Chain A
Amino acid sequence: MDVPATLKPVQKPTSDAQTHNGAELLIKTLADLGVDTIFGYPGGAVLPIYDALFNNHDLKHVLVRHEQAGVHAADGYSRSTGKPGVVLATSGPGATNTVTGIATAMMDSIPLVVLSGQVPTSVIGNDAFQEADIVGITRPITKQNYLVRDVNNLESVLREAFHIATHGRPGPVLVDMPKDMLNSRAKFKGTKDVDIPSFKPTIHGHQPQIAKAARMLSEAKRPLIYVGGGAILGEAWKEVTEFAERLNIPVTTTLMGLGAFPESKPQSVGMLGMHGTWYANMAMTECDVLLAVGARFDDRVTGRLNGFSQNSRKIHIDIDPSCIGKNVDVEVPIVGDVKRVIPAIDKLATPPQISEWWDTIHTWKKEHPLVVPKADDQIYPQHMIKMISEITEGNAIVVTDVGQHQMWAAQHYQYNHPRSWITSGGLGTMGFGFPAAMGAAMACPDRDVVCITGDGGFQMLTCELATAVEYKIPVKIAIMNNACLGMVRQWQQLFFDNRTSYSVFGSNNPDFVKMADAYGMIGMRATNPKEMREVLEKGMAIKDAPVLMDFSVVKEENCYPMVPSGAALFEMVESDEECKK
């Protein structure tokens, strides 16, 4: 287009108040989107961003020591607050290091925005130094991902990325940014509205289905509400709690749903599934009407499918239609936001007459409580969790790694608050716990954050001790030290004739207390219940710095109840002896 020379805008190549380079635009947009903290690690491709972060006061950047930990930290930040977590990594190895973290978030539907650097557009596809096709690599583990070639699209892509990560069923979104794009200039538009015609999640449930669900629940003889992580993600804990209390229907939660319904309430039957309570698994087996709320009938919950809740009519509320009818046939599917659908059912339902059902459940509870070993002069894992629950009065944010300690922490801590239980449920990622706890502690400075971890999983990302010390992140690391990969050892004992192949560390573990000392933080050890109490009381009192507590626990203890893989829920076993049969 020909424009008279006098009307042409004057081209200022640099430091133009009207335009910003991609890196500045990125920071400006993040701040505009309400992002206050990002977890990152620098490298060549993202140097323009680090330059823009230098002396920047809009955003807090936390320098982690490994990009995987950065993603887990952002994940913990998100799980504890509901806000999206943000990560920054350089191209190539930086980006590939984020993969496990992204997959972890994807499996648990956690909203994250992962920002990766990329080689300049002119050399993309040339096997340039530190080039990796991260958009291709992360395609199956992101909800959406982008390569931004044109700086003029950067702001709108970022807004779209945050929108997609946080709406509908949440999930991670990756934005890949070539270095030359980060150096090119464009205007900041500040248009907040995001409209993606192809992305319109269903929020309100189908009214006739809602009415049918209400009728089924009102007429049920043995109803059960089965609450999953969707009730936490959808912030529907208040609605679920009021509903279950008013109708006086028993509630079980999944591993991901812990905290969505207070376990102190009489309606709670605790967690179900592979290491769920006897009574929750039996209630699931025997119920006649099942209301699934933001849960996905995962194989760790259902056990053998043809033995799963055979006589129940099933209602399933989920925001993601692909979760409904995937593993288990459902009579009443309701696609929608649980926060809207539950009150809609509540309006139409009347409390069912179920005193006999309650009698049955109370009998189960009495006859098959959670197994806790008798106290002696050793630390039993279950006692360790119970003591943490007691000393924190059930008010801490508990973050775990993966293994036996995770299951005991799920069973024996009493969860009464949402967003207070953070664990990698879907992917089961060892190494998740400690960095996720850092993220939660940074996001929630007013809460106690306890990281209950195994000696195996903790060693996967111990580099983050440096981060915790540098930023004085007051996370309480409680290592359940059984000198082995406990959950692997348990399976080998029970299903492989006790051939403990490569699962026992024995004396090859480091001295964790000395390790803490090397990083300049407080470390304490306890080998008996008395020391445990002292260590925990001292440790929990530290509010301005990280602390590491190493608890030597009984090594051979196994986690029960357990539904052996391939068994039905009602075939769960409660002890080693029973398992041998």
Chain B
Amino acid sequence: MTKDYRHTLSVLVKHNLNTLSRIIGIFSAKGFELASVTFASEADPGMARVTITTYGDEKTVEQINKHLHNVVDVLKVTDLTHKKCIERELAIIKVSTAKVGRPEIMLIAQAFKAKVIDITSDKLALEVTGNTDKVDAMIEVLKPYGIAEMSRSGSVALKREFQGAVNIN
């Protein structure tokens, strides 16, 4: 058995809900893990891109890949896991300021280059963008202060054009 990894799959599909349902159906019917999924139109009319993050060993992800390919309206599946890719996720997090006051929370926000997008008497709403690891990290740091509510977009990702050795994140 190989180890479970987080995989990001970018799936180019014909834009219709039947296709999206078929893709989700693979995960529920075959018992594959679905960590996040985004679905939105492509620049090309009639097309859409589904970005999926999932966990599994190489064999499982290969099966997922093949099943996705078998969906008639799927044009292309790219596994970005072992490729250089640009990946972003956005999260809006409402944190309680009751325990420590605003400045401390804002300091943390600054460290993560997050924006304050709403202020109330006892909460701050922060917007953070970055790869999933960064969003995860910020959530971990904020947890002790009390996260009232949050909403994550799920990952969107594309392959980098240049696949050589660089690291601009």
* Residues of A bordering B, CB below 8 Å: 135-136, 139-140, 143-147, 164, 196-199, 320-322, 324-326
**Known pairs A325-B59, A325-B63; A139 contacts B21 (CB<8 A):** yes
**Known pairs A135-B18, A139-B25, A140-B25; A198 contacts B63 (CB<8 A):** no
Of the candidates A140, A198, A325, the one whose C-beta lies within 8 Å of that of B74 is A198
User: Which residues between 70 and 96 of chain B lie within 8 Å of chain A, taking CB atoms?
Assistant: 70, 72-75
- Asked whether, in the complex, the Cβ of A139 is within 8 Å of the Cβ of B22, the reply is yes
A146→B18 CA distance, assembly (Å): 8
A198→B11 CA distance, assembly (Å): 12
- Asked whether, in the complex, the Cβ of A198 is within 8 Å of the Cβ of B75, the reply is yes
- Asked whether, in the complex, the Cβ of A321 is within 8 Å of the Cβ of B69, the reply is yes
Contacts of A146 in B (CB 8 A): 18
A184→B117 CA distance, assembly (Å): 52
Interface centre among A145, A197, A322 (most CB of B within 10 A): A322
A321→B63 CA distance, assembly (Å): 9
- Asked whether, in the complex, the Cβ of B22 is within 8 Å of the Cβ of A322, the reply is no
Contacts of A196 in B (CB 8 A): 72
Please, could you name 22 A-B residue pairs with CB atoms under 8 Å apart, sorted by A? A136-B21, A139-B18, A139-B21, A139-B22, A144-B72, A144-B73, A145-B18, A146-B18, A164-B72, A196-B72, A198-B14, A198-B72, A198-B73, A198-B75, A199-B72, A320-B70, A321-B70, A322-B66, A322-B67, A324-B66, A325-B59, A325-B63
A322→B60 CA distance, assembly (Å): 11
Interface size class of B (residues with CB under 8 A): 10 to 19
Of the candidates A139, A144, A145, A322, the one whose C-beta lies within 8 Å of that of B63 is A322
Q: How far is the CB of A209 from chain B (nearest CB, A)?
A: 16
Contacts of B111 in A (CB 8 A): none
Q: How far is the CB of B56 from chain A (nearest CB, A)?
A: 14
Contacts of B25 in A (CB 8 A): 139-140
Contacts of B70 in A (CB 8 A): 320-322
Contacts of A325 in B (CB 8 A): 59, 62-63
A334→B21 CA distance, assembly (Å): 30
Interface centre among A139, A146, A147 (most CB of B within 10 A): A139
Chain B, residue nearest A164 (CB)? B72
A164→B21 CA distance, assembly (Å): 19
Chain A, residue nearest B70 (CB)? A322
B137 within 8 Å of A (CB atoms): no
Q: How far is the CB of B112 from chain A (nearest CB, A)?
A: 40
- Asked whether, in the complex, the Cβ of A326 is within 8 Å of the Cβ of B18, the reply is no
Q: How far is the CB of A249 from chain B (nearest CB, A)?
A: 29
Chain A, residue nearest B28 (CB)? A140
B100 within 8 Å of A (CB atoms): no
B165 within 8 Å of A (CB atoms): no
- Asked whether, in the complex, the Cβ of A143 is within 8 Å of the Cβ of B69, the reply is no
Contacts of B74 in A (CB 8 A): 198
Contacts of B73 in A (CB 8 A): 144, 198
Chain B, residue nearest A147 (CB)? B18
Contacts of A147 in B (CB 8 A): 18
A388→B22 CA distance, assembly (Å): 45
Q: How far is the CB of A324 from chain B (nearest CB, A)?
A: 8
Contacts of B166 in A (CB 8 A): none
Interface centre among B21, B25, B29, B72 (most CB of A within 10 A): B72
Given contacts A139-B22, A144-B73, A322-B67, 19 further A-B contacts (CB under 8 A): A136-B21, A139-B18, A139-B21, A139-B25, A140-B25, A144-B72, A145-B18, A146-B18, A196-B72, A197-B75, A198-B13, A198-B14, A321-B69, A321-B70, A322-B63, A322-B69, A322-B70, A324-B66, A325-B62
Render B8-20 as a binary contact track against A, CB cut-off 8 A, 1 for contact. 0000011000100
A450→B69 CA distance, assembly (Å): 40
Contacts of B62 in A (CB 8 A): 325
A146→B75 CA distance, assembly (Å): 18
Chain A, residue nearest B62 (CB)? A325
- Asked whether, in the complex, the Cβ of B72 is within 8 Å of the Cβ of A321, the reply is no
Contacts of A143 in B (CB 8 A): 72
Contacts of A326 in B (CB 8 A): 63
Contacts of B13 in A (CB 8 A): 198
A13→B29 CA distance, assembly (Å): 47
Contacts of A135 in B (CB 8 A): 18
Contacts of A139 in B (CB 8 A): 18, 21-22, 25
User: Which residues between 29 and 43 of chain B lie within 8 Å of chain A, taking CB atoms?
Assistant: 29
Q: How far is the CB of B46 from chain A (nearest CB, A)?
A: 11
Contacts of B14 in A (CB 8 A): 198
A196→B67 CA distance, assembly (Å): 18
A526→B3 CA distance, assembly (Å): 62
Render B121-146 as a binary contact track against A, CB cut-off 8 A, 1 for contact. 00000000000000000000000000
Q: How far is the CB of B80 from chain A (nearest CB, A)?
A: 20
Contacts of B67 in A (CB 8 A): 322
Contacts of A198 in B (CB 8 A): 13-14, 72-75
Contacts of A144 in B (CB 8 A): 72-73
**Known pairs A139-B18, A139-B22, A139-B25; A321 contacts B75 (CB<8 A):** no
A146→B14 CA distance, assembly (Å): 13
Contacts of B69 in A (CB 8 A): 321-322
A196→B18 CA distance, assembly (Å): 16
Q: How far is the CB of B10 from chain A (nearest CB, A)?
A: 15
Q: How far is the CB of B43 from chain A (nearest CB, A)?
A: 17
Of the candidates B29, B59, B63, B75, the one whose C-beta lies within 8 Å of that of A140 is B29
A256→B95 CA distance, assembly (Å): 60
Q: How far is the CB of A47 from chain B (nearest CB, A)?
A: 26
Q: How far is the CB of B47 from chain A (nearest CB, A)?
A: 10
Contacts of A136 in B (CB 8 A): 21
Q: How far is the CB of B98 from chain A (nearest CB, A)?
A: 45
Contacts of B29 in A (CB 8 A): 140
A528→B25 CA distance, assembly (Å): 52
Chain B, residue nearest A199 (CB)? B72
Contacts of A321 in B (CB 8 A): 66, 69-70
A426→B25 CA distance, assembly (Å): 20
A324→B59 CA distance, assembly (Å): 11
A135→B22 CA distance, assembly (Å): 11
Contacts of B63 in A (CB 8 A): 322, 325-326
A164→B70 CA distance, assembly (Å): 11
Contacts of A140 in B (CB 8 A): 25, 29
A144→B14 CA distance, assembly (Å): 13
A146→B21 CA distance, assembly (Å): 13
Render B43-62 as a binary contact track against A, CB cut-off 8 A, 1 for contact. 00000000000000001001
Contacts of A199 in B (CB 8 A): 72
Q: How far is the CB of A23 from chain B (nearest CB, A)?
A: 24
- Which 6 pairs from chain A and chain B are nearest by CB? A322-B66, A144-B72, A198-B75, A321-B66, A199-B72, A322-B67
A143→B72 CA distance, assembly (Å): 8
Chain B, residue nearest A202 (CB)? B69
Contacts of B22 in A (CB 8 A): 139
